[in-house]
Chain A
């Protein structure tokens, strides 16, 4: 059974801090790993990673995948209160399904 584990489950930081969120996975015939941000409603897509060692970057957010060690990290630099959300990691194997982790609840205090 495919499995995705995220850590920490929750995190409280101050504005301006840098945070690193972790995601490890066990997936049969791994195809891709995705990060989503969820605020009040639907998860919104951040990154999709398929190759090891290639960083994806969007503004203050970046993510990298290590296919040998089966994990990914999501970095957020210079955090802002608007970054407060649940961050979801998901992996896709040879079937058509995404398996999600339980998420990391990030709270950024002013």
Chain B
């Protein structure tokens, strides 16, 4: 199994440009998440989804949009990139049901490093 796959792995943008990060999981997980990781800040939740067609805001949602049209995919969009969005972005997924082995355990993708000039 591939697990969680993120594309692209690296991207450099100019301020004001837009882009989309794609996350795909093949584990049939219900929940999916986008985090950003900055030095000294740990992992901060941007948006998450508890199922196909549903999304919700996390801690730091401003400047980002997401969509989950298919269960296996979770897209993170930057409409107008800003230097403050320079970061490493991680997608993750997990099972839903309480009590199911592995529930609540997030499986992470390898990360996408984004630089905004």
The reply to whether A48 and B104 contact each other, CB–CB distance below 8 Å, is: yes
SS class of chain B's interface: helix, strand, loop or mixed? strand
CA distance A100 to B107 in the complex (A): 14
The 8 Å CB contact of B104, one of A42, A92, A102, is A92
Contact A102 B90 (CB under 8 A): no
Residues of A within 8 A of B58 (CB): 97
Encode B53-65 as 1/0 by CB contact (under 8 A) with A. 0000010000000
Q: How far is the CA of A30 from the CA of B104 in the complex (A)?
A: 12
> How many whole Å from B48's CB to the nearest CB in chain A?
6
- Contact indicator B43/A88 (Cβ below 8 Å): yes
Given the interface pairs A41-B110, A41-B111, A42-B90, the reply to whether A100 lies near B42 with Cβ below 8 Å is: yes
Per-residue interface assignment for chain B, residues 67 to 101, with 1 indicating a CB less than 8 Å from any chain A CB and 0 otherwise: 00000000000000000000000100000001000
Number of interface residues of A (CB under 8 A): 21
Do the beta carbons of B48 and A42 come within 8 Å of each other? Answer: no
Q: A34-69: which residues lie under 8 A (CB-CB) from chain B? A: 34, 41-45, 48
B5-26 to A contact mask, C-beta < 8 Å, 1/0? 0000000000000000000000
Contact present for B105 and A96 (CB under 8 Å): no
A102 & B41 in contact (Cβ 8 Å cutoff): yes
User: What is the bound-complex CA distance between A31 and B42, given in angstroms?
Assistant: 21
A42:B43 contact, CB within 8 angstroms: no
Separation in Å of the A56 CB from the closest CB of chain B? 13
Q: Is A32 an interface residue (CB 8 A)?
A: yes
Given known A48-B104, A96-B50, contact A42–B111 (CB-CB < 8 A) = yes
Of the listed residues A48, A90, A102, the one surrounded by the most CB atoms of chain B closer than 10 A to its CB is A102
Q: A98: CB under 8 A from chain B? A: yes
Chain A neighbourhood of B90, CB < 8 A: 42-43
Residues of B within 8 A of A44 (CB): 108
Give B residues with C-beta under 8 Å from A. 4, 31, 33, 35, 40-45, 48, 50, 58, 90, 98, 104-111
Q: Name A's B-contacting residues (CB within 8 A).
A: 9, 31-32, 34, 41-45, 48, 88, 90, 92, 96-103
